[in-house]
């Protein structure tokens, strides 16, 4: 079901305590239930030169392998006008295949022509109508495909390259019964950038994850002209470089362009995956703290050098780097947004942003960290799944992440967008909060627009009905991130309280300076007041009675934000 609101609340629900309705420029949402036979999930949005917004999505169908489980995906695109109206929509279903890269990449040529890049692999979901053996001539190879599209998003020209993959069907039990396509061989595109009139990217050719394993996982760098010519396709062995092709760690943005070629970032396998066959290029197991490997490549993908990066507080058992994405700065360094589990158990992670000095001629074995920042709660926190950092024209950057999702994605979560200067000092912070609507949300991607605005794509669920999903693309004007009034005018908050409901501690998170927080009981009596000196202010509530409280953040003697907090 599609919902379109010109001026609305992001979650189509009321904000509490006088919060204004969202005044963002526009919003486009799609809602579905996991029991639906078919669904469209939006992942990221890009503005084209003519003002249209291309939304990269996945079209999913019931697999039949598990009740209420939508799987596997096929690439899909939605074209929105500059006002957020649907202009065209299409999905690119292929018989006997599934979209192994989940959602497609979209590129625009200088003359305005639109191209879609995606991959297909044989569909091994045996209870699914599209199972590859259901066809007279079942596919056995994977496809790397580039497609030129018309204004209606129909394919005008198709350029497909076929590659053999090693696989075996052995999905009789366990996790693989419900993810048979992930268990089988496939190719997964996890990076693609436009370099002149060419697409430069990387994909993994994965073998099956079941027993017996056939073949080796390989990493490929490719270059393809927008005319469809495959100019280069260079493969390296993952094993020889101590890499692990876990697709959950490989997302979308791993390559940056340099004056000599490219730099490719790859998260290294956590040490609990490292065996005798997963050694680094010194034939030694991964060292404690090592998180990833960096390949320096020339324009023909010859390896010029290999270095490593690491979490500064990593250890031998918790050193995983998830949802990693990189972005080249304007001064020849690289920003990397990621999440890590170095502090907590495997089910709880924090959000991190690094700036690396990845100069080719640097003498250090490890990349030098120029700047770093960490954002976390005591619950599961997550950077934008597809893209979490974007650059602005004034050299500041936007960093997008989700906090307080909870171990089972049942927390009172909120999406945070921080605007940072070149030194990672906070210029402004805004929150997209669900208030008391029993809804959790998670950022998918963030991108900037030609007029300085922001395109945010996110997913939200009702906590009492997690099968009901909404994915949304929203455009915020540039002024949303300037000041308190501007944030409020666009339905954003400048402070939040958590956990909510809570018990013995009330946390107030805000980037406001020269501010105080006040707490009132249900009768309007002031029971607590203190200065805000940190990003998070913890207030002890052990002696407070159970019930509803009102908190206010005052900045420059004016009310900047307020809300309700419940003590259980």
| Predicted confidence band of residue 94 (pLDDT cuts 50, 70, 90) | very high
Please state, rounded to an integer, the average pLDDT across all residues of the chain.
Answer: 83
CA distance 234 to 217: 14
CB 395 within 8 Å of CB 419: no
pLDDT grade for 429, boundaries at 50, 70 and 90: very high
Query: How many other CB atoms sit within 10 Å of the CB of residue 173?
Result: 8
pLDDT of residue 254: 93
Q: How many CA atoms lie within 13 A of 455 on its CB side?
A: 27
Which pTM value belongs to this model?
A: 0.88
Q: What is the pLDDT of residues 32-46, one digit of tens each?
A: 887 788 899 999 999
Query: How high is the pLDDT of residue 74?
Result: 95
Lowest mean per-residue pLDDT among 66-80, 128-142, 393-407, 542-556: 66-80
- Look up tokens 């000095």; give the residue: 357
Parallel, antiparallel or unpaired: strands 198-206 and 186-195: antiparallel
Quick one: pLDDT band at residue 12, thresholds 50, 70, 90? very low
pLDDT at 286 over 50: no
CATH code reported for the domain at 496-568: 2.60.40.1220
Per-residue pLDDT of 229-268, as tens digits, reads 999 999 887 666 656 555 656 678 999 999 999 999 987 6
Q: Taking residues 337-357, what's their average pLDDT?
A: 78
The dihedral of CA 212, 215, 221, 223: what is its sign? negative
End-to-end CA distance of the chain: 36
Helix (H) or strand (E) holding 498: strand 495-498
Q: Residue 126: which pLDDT band, with cuts at 50, 70 and 90?
A: confident
Q: Where are the domains of the chain?
A: 496-568
Is the bond preceding residue 501 a cis peptide, omega within 30 degrees? yes
Among residues 404, 434, 432, which one has the least CA distance to residue 417?
Answer: 432
Alpha-carbon distances of 478 from 80, 81, 89, 232, 482, rounded to whole Å: 19, 18, 27, 40, 8
Among 115-119, 251-255, 508-512, 542-546, the range scoring the smallest mean pLDDT is 251-255
C-alpha count within 13 angstroms, C-beta hemisphere, residue 422 = 9
Does the structure show a pLDDT above 90 at 349? no
Query: Worst-scoring range by mean pLDDT, 22-31, 348-357, 491-500, 518-527?
Result: 22-31
Q: Model confidence at 316, in pLDDT bands (50, 70, 90)?
A: very low
Helix, strand, coil in percent for the chain, rounding step 5: 5, 50, 45
Residue 338 has phi, psi (to 5 degrees) of -160, 175
**pLDDT tier at 166, thresholds 50, 70, 90:** confident
Question: If pLDDT is split at 50, 70 and 90, which confidence band does 66 have?
Answer: low
> In sequence order, which residues have a C-beta less than 8 Å from that of residue 291 and are 6 or more positions away?
267, 268, 308, 309, 310, 311, 314, 319, 320, 321, 340
């Amino acid at each position: 079901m599609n919902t379109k609101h010109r001026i609305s609340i992001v979650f189509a629900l009321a904000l509490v305590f006088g919060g204004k309705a969202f005044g963002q420029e526009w919003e486009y949402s799609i809602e579905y239930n996991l029991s639906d036979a078919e669904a469209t999930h939006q992942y990221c949005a890009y503005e084209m030169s003519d003002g249209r917004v291309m939304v990269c999505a996945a079209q999913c169908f019931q697999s039949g392998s598990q009740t209420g489980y939508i799987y596997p995906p096929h690439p899909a695109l939605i074209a929105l006008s500059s006002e957020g109206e649907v202009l065209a929509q299409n999905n690119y279903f292929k018989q006997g295949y599934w979209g192994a890269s989940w959602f497609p990449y979209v590129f625009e040529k200088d003359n305005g022509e639109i191209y879609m890049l995606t991959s297909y692999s044989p569909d091994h979901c045996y209870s699914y109508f599209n199972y590859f053996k259901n066809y007279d001539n079942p596919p056995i190879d994977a496809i790397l495909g580039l497609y030129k599209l018309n204004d209606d998003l129909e394919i005008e020209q198709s350029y497909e390259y076929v590659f053999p993959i090693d696989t075996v069907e052995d999905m009789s039990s366990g996790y693989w019964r419900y993810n048979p396509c992930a268990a089988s061989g496939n190719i997964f595109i996890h990076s693609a950038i436009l370099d002149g009139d060419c697409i430069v990217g990387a994909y993994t050719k994965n073998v099956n994850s079941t027993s017996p394993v056939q073949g080796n996982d390989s990493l490929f760098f490719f270059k393809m002209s927008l005319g469809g010519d495959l100019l280069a396709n260079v493969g390296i062995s993952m094993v020889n470089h101590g890499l692990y092709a876990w697709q959950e760690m490989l997302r979308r943005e791993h390559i940056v362009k340099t004056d000599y070629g490219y730099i490719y970032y790859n998260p290294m396998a956590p040490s609990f995956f490292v065996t005798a066959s997963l050694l680094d290029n010194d034939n030694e197991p991964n060292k404690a703290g090592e998180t990833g490997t960096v390949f320096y490549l020339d324009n023909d993908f010859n390896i010029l050098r290999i270095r490593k990066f690491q979490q500064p507080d990593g250890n031998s058992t918790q050193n995983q780097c998830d949802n990693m994405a990189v972005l080249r700065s304007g001064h020849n360094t690289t920003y990397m947004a990621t999440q890590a589990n170095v502090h907590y158990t495997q089910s709880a992670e924090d959000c991190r942003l690094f700036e690396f000095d990845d100069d080719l001629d640097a003498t250090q074995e490890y990349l030098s960290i120029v700047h770093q920042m960490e954002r976390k709660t005591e619950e599961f926190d997550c950077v934008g799944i597809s893209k979490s950092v974007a650059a602005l024209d004034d050299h500041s950057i936007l960093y997008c992440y989700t906090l307080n999702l909870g171990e089972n994605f049942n927390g009172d979560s909120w999406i945070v967008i921080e605007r940072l200067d070149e030194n990672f000092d906070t210029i402004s912070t805004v929150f997209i909060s669900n208030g008391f609507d029993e809804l959790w949300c998670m950022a998918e991607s963030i991108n900037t627009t030609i007029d300085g605005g922001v395109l945010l794509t996110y997913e939200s669920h009702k906590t009492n009905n997690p099968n009901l999903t909404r994915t949304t693309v929203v455009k915020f004007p540039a002024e949303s991130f300037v000041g308190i009034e501007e944030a409020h005018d666009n339905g954003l908050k400048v402070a939040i309280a958590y956990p909510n409901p809570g018990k013995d501690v009330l946390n107030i998170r805000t980037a406001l300076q020269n501010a105080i927080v006040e707490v009132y009981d249900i009768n309007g009596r002031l029971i607590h007041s203190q200065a805000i000196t940190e990003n998070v202010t913890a207030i002890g509530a052990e002696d407070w009675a159970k019930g509803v409280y009102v908190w206010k953040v005052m900045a420059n003697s004016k009310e900047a934000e307020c809300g309700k907090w419940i003590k259980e």
